[in-house]
Amino acid sequence: MKLGIFDSGLGGLIIAKAVHDHMPDLDIVYLGDTLRLPYGNRSDDAIYEFTRQCVEFLFSQDCNLVVIACNTASARALRRLQQEWLPGANYPGRNVLGVIVPTLEAALDHGYHNLGLIGTNATVNSGIYPEELKKVSEKIDITQKATPLLVPLIENEGEAWLGDVLEHYLEPLKARGCECILLGCTHYALLKNQIRKHLGQGIEVLSQDEIIPAKLADYLERHSEYADEISRGGTIEFYVSDITPGYKAAAAKLYGREIDIQKAEVA
Ligand code: DGL
């Protein structure tokens, strides 16, 4: 079997690369749903259905374990997939993991008490970060801010406007005295340096490309049923549900080198 990594688009390539760098022997299959991105303003039903189809595609590629790198899909579809679909669809020996709990765990590992979160409208409005945080501690505050302009800015080379947009979005989190900002969206890893620079010293920024690989390695250590089964040829395959020259160029930029992307039929 292989490890599947799914994102609504290409931002998850940053996570896939970080996982590959951390565990270079694992065989990985990446799928980005470029045909239907962005997910961030979609309904729950649409996000669930698209995510389910993409996970099914990764299962068909021999990925018994799939990481949903997309925060929006983790927030809006993961629970339903784990609780209703996986058992009902009769997929024994397969599992789907998300990025929200590991990200919160990383913040708790650092001992922060006053967190800020930025993410898409769908992620923030789901309330899943505060909900999951409450399960482990009542004493930690989290202030959320939906930052829907960031993905289009990243995707359309809108860096020139980034300063004003970050000021607008991050100011309320600074005013709340947040000690640490969680970047709750695959794309935001690309902005981590600008966000760190913007916030200055004294406010930590947790970026999921720096969190998920170690958390996944930890999961595999505790789950030999997957760790023992994953093939270890160090390969990484890339699939997208729609290919354009623009996506190819963006994929190369995000992954840091030219990559061979194939078209997946997911719908
Ligand atoms: N991948 C999504 C996430 O991490 C962001 C892009 C989208 O809206 O689809 O939330």
pLDDT band at 88 (very low <50, low <70, confident <90, very high): confident
Same-domain pairing of 84 and 183: no
CA nearest ligand 1 atom 1, residue: 70
Same-domain pairing of 229 and 188: no
Task: Fill in the DSSP letter of residue 81.
Answer: I
User: Which ligand 1 atom lies nearest to the CA of residue 42?
Assistant: 8
Same-domain pairing of 79 and 152: no
Separation of CA 171 and ligand 1 centre (Å): 22
Pocket test for ligand 1, best of 51, 123, 185, 241 (most atoms within 8 A of CB): 185
Same-domain pairing of 234 and 155: no
- Active-site amino acid positions: 70, 185
Separation of CA 253 and ligand 1 centre (Å): 18
Please give the Cα distance from 20 to 13 (Å, whole number).
Answer: 10
Q: Residue 185 pLDDT more than 80?
A: yes
Same-domain pairing of 105 and 193: yes
Separation of CA 224 and ligand 1 centre (Å): 30
Residue by residue, DSSP assigns 64-80 as EEEEE--HHHHHHTHHH
Separation of CA 228 and ligand 1 centre (Å): 31
Pocket test for ligand 1, best of 13, 31, 37, 68 (most atoms within 8 A of CB): 37
pLDDT mean over 130-152: 95
At 48, which CATH number? 3.40.50.1860
Tokens of 64: 């018994």
- With a CB cutoff of 8 Å and minimum separation 6, the contacts of 160 are none
What percentage of the chain reaches a pLDDT higher than 90?
Answer: 93
Cis bond before residue 38 (omega within 30° of 0)? yes
Same-domain pairing of 231 and 161: no
Pocket test for ligand 1, best of 44, 71, 121 (most atoms within 8 A of CB): 71
Q: What is the pLDDT of residue 155?
A: 81
Residue range 210-246, pLDDT digits in tens: 999 999 999 999 999 999 999 999 999 999 999 999 9
pTM: 0.96
Q: Of the candidates 209, 228, 247, which is a domain's last residue?
A: 209
Same-domain pairing of 241 and 189: no
CA nearest ligand 1 atom 2, residue: 70
Same-domain pairing of 56 and 134: no
Same-domain pairing of 111 and 199: yes
Same-domain pairing of 137 and 40: no
CB 10 within 8 A of CB 70: no
Same-domain pairing of 21 and 84: yes
Task: Fill in the DSSP letter of residue 161.
Answer: G
Q: How many domains does the chain have?
A: 2
Residue range 104-132, pLDDT digits in tens: 999 999 999 999 999 999 999 999 999 99
Full domain range(s) for residue 10: 2-98+211-263
